[in-house]
Amino acid sequence: MSYDNNREYDFEHGWQALAGLAGRLSRRLQSVQGTNDYAPVRPWEVVPVEPCPFCADGGMRTAGYVTRDHQLLPVRQCDTCHAVEIGTQLYMDDATDVADDDADDEDDGWDEGNDDVAH
């Protein structure tokens, strides 16, 4: 896998990335993990972690990879706002919808059912 030379990265081991996401997996990430083309990051693999482009507070941590159109794309999730990035596409529709959260009917400002992709 190649990395963009114009971006600055911090790096961590795969086990650190997975530990940072433990108990915070969004529904989108869980659905990707359930596909046949998903492979989790290996514990001793060195992967990038960088600031989340959505919330600018958390870190985008690598959970694994998917194979799409004969390409290996990283699957990353923010450890704070739970936005999911697959390749270069950032999905924010369920950014606050973490699978282990209790379902509540509060208006959290998100348009549920909107499957927009940030560009």
112 found inside a domain: no
Is 117 within the bounds of a domain? Answer: no
**Has residue 118 been placed in a domain?**
no
113, part of any domain: no
What total of structural domains would you count in the chain?
A: 1
Please check the confidence at residue 28 and state whether its pLDDT lies above 50: yes
Got the DSSP string for 28-44?
HHHHHHTSTTEEEPPTT
Whether 55 maps to a domain, the answer reads: yes
Q: Which residues of 25-52 are buried (b: 16+ CB within 10 A; e: fewer)?
A: bbebbeebeeeeebeebeeeeebbbeeb
Query: Does residue 110 sit within a domain?
Result: no
Phi, psi of 84, rounded to the nearest 5 degrees: -115, 135
Mean pLDDT of the region 18-37: 93
- Does residue 48 have a pLDDT over 60? yes
Whether residue 5 has pLDDT greater than 60: no
> What mean pLDDT comes out for the span 46-54?
92
Residue 109 lies in a domain: no
Model confidence over 58-117: pLDDT tens digits? 899 999 999 999 999 999 999 999 999 999 898 886 555 555 444 444 444 434 444 444
Residue 20 lies in a domain: yes
pLDDT at 119: 39
Of 109 and 52, more confident: 52
Q: Quote the domain boundaries for residue 61.
A: 10-94
